[in-house]
Amino acid sequence: MWQNLSLRARINLLLALLLALGLAVNIGRQVAEAGPRVQAEDQSVIRLAREFIEMIVADLNEAPDPDARLNQIARDLSRLRHVSIALQDAGGNPLTPPRPADDDARGPPAWFVGLVHPEQTAVSVPVSVHGKPGSLVITAHPDDEIAEIWDAIVTQLEVGSVIALALFLVMMTVVGRALTPLQSLADTMAELEGGRYQARVAPGGAPELAAICTKLNHLAATLGEAVEDKRRLAERTVSLQDVERKEIARELHDEFGPYLFSLRAHASALAKQADGRAPSADAVRKHGSAMLEQINALQQFNRRVLERLRPVGLAELGLRQALESLSRLWRESHPDVAIKTVISPALGVTGETADLTIYRIVQEALTNVFRHAGATSVNVVIEPVEPAERDGRGCARVRVSDNGRGMEPGQKLGFGLVGMRERILALGGTLNVVSGDGGLTVEALVPTAAA
């Protein structure tokens, strides 16, 4: 049952139990103190009555009629409220009528009287008139004290109940207002779960709840931004794929087209030579040599295209051999540009994903160098990063720098580097491009499998 109650119901129930317990403890304390109070009242009244009777009886024998005087004393003392005095003979037989019982319908209940005053307290004072023994029996009747205690308990119970009820209502209102943000938090979380990341909760309530509301709003904003970034990344991925296809189509058109046209021309020339009566050996040799050169160029171009689509031998040969092969291809096609590649021996195993990412960074950077930089030298450095620099995670630093003309002020990165940056960010790394008078530097931190 307790587990099914809400937080508000639990707090209200605990408050009610505490108030009821406090009231019960206070009433119990008064009931526990009632018995000793009544007993002390009995002893005090009987002591005073006994001293008073002993003082009166001392002069009883000097009265003209001692018996009548004794009876008159007994009748007069029977009117006292807190005690009753009865005259008895030597055999214990009453000589005066008993005190009538109090008929007070509003008095304390019998169970309460029996609880605080279970037995009446009585004291016998011996008297002798002309040699006739007798006694005056003093019996305490603390009815007023018991009634006073009972009235105090009833008043305490009534007033305490009203005060406890008022406190409970006040605390229930305060608790309800303090916990109101909890429902708003639950509603906002439900909206976030449904994909409505613009939902916000108004901070309120206790400072702790207000802080939670503020943090939830920040979390919702961050989550919305992350989802929007994911959407933009998906759009950019599709856009980059289209751009990559266009680039490949353009290269096929610009590179393959002229070579194929030239090969067709040389093949036609060779066919004409073969149809002639006396083919010229020099002409056949010339056209054959030209065709071999063009086929060799086509093979190199085909290798570059395949490298862009999927690095050949990266999984089989490893990152070092794949980068050396890539550099060798660029050296063959651009012998006027010096390419220096340094891979630190301490790099170790980086993992398939990191290998492919590092390879793509170097490939994209070299492509930009040979297309736009006009550089004469390129330096490629790949080395491990100290764990302290990346919060204990293993990373590889990739730096490609050239001595070209760099980027123009305000010039934006191309689609290739933008796509590469987003890919590295998705892996938890970073990519920065710094342009200066001495050329352009592309530096990336790529998380490795050792992270």
- 62-118: per-residue pLDDT in tens? 667 666 766 776 666 666 666 777 766 666 666 566 555 555 556 778 788 778 777
Task: Please return the burial class of 86, using the count of CB atoms within 10 Å of its CB with bins 0-12, 13-18 and 19+.
Answer: buried
Of residues 407 and 25, the one with the higher pLDDT is 25
Q: 318-323 contacts: CB < 8 A, separation 24 or more? A: 318/355, 319/343, 319/350, 319/355, 319/358, 319/359, 322/355, 322/359, 323/358, 323/359, 323/362, 323/380, 323/382
- 152-167: per-residue pLDDT in tens? 888 888 888 888 888 8
Residues in the chain: 451
> Which pLDDT does position 450 carry in this prediction?
52
For the ranges 199-208, 267-276, 409-418, the lowest mean pLDDT is seen at 409-418
Mean pLDDT of 317-342: 83
Mean pLDDT of 26-35: 84
pLDDT above 50 (res 190): yes
> Which pLDDT does position 45 carry in this prediction?
76
pTM: 0.42
3-state secondary structure of 133: strand
Give me the chain's average pLDDT, please.
77
Of residues 162 and 42, the one with the higher pLDDT is 162
Residue with tokens 């990191």: 354
| C-alpha to C-alpha distance for 430 and 427, rounded to whole angstroms | 9
> Which pLDDT does position 61 carry in this prediction?
61
> Which pLDDT does position 152 carry in this prediction?
85
Of residues 449 and 439, the one with the higher pLDDT is 439
pLDDT category, 310, cuts 50, 70, 90?
Answer: low
Backbone phi, psi, residue 79, to 5° = -80, -10
Mean pLDDT of 310-328: 76
Domain boundaries defined on the chain: 2-178, 330-451
DSSP secondary structure, 155-222, as one string: HHHHHHHHHHHHHHHHHHHHHHHHTHHHHHHHHHHHHHHTT-TT------SSHHHHHHHHHHHHHHHH
| C-alpha to C-alpha distance for 439 and 384, rounded to whole angstroms | 24
Mean pLDDT of 328-349: 83
How many percent of the chain have pLDDT more than 90? 0
DSSP secondary structure, 411-444, as one string: PPPPHHHHHHHHHHHHHT-EEEEEEETTEEEEEE
Spatial CA neighbour of 357 closest among 224, 286, 446 = 446
Of residues 77 and 436, the one with the higher pLDDT is 436
> Which pLDDT does position 451 carry in this prediction?
41
Fold of 330-451: Heat Shock Protein 90 (3.30.565)
> Which pLDDT does position 326 carry in this prediction?
82
Mean pLDDT of 140-145: 75
For the ranges 162-176, 184-198, 210-224, 409-423, the lowest mean pLDDT is seen at 409-423
| Angle in degrees, CA 154, 159, 164, rounded to 5 | 125
> Which pLDDT does position 106 carry in this prediction?
61
Mean pLDDT of 365-392: 77
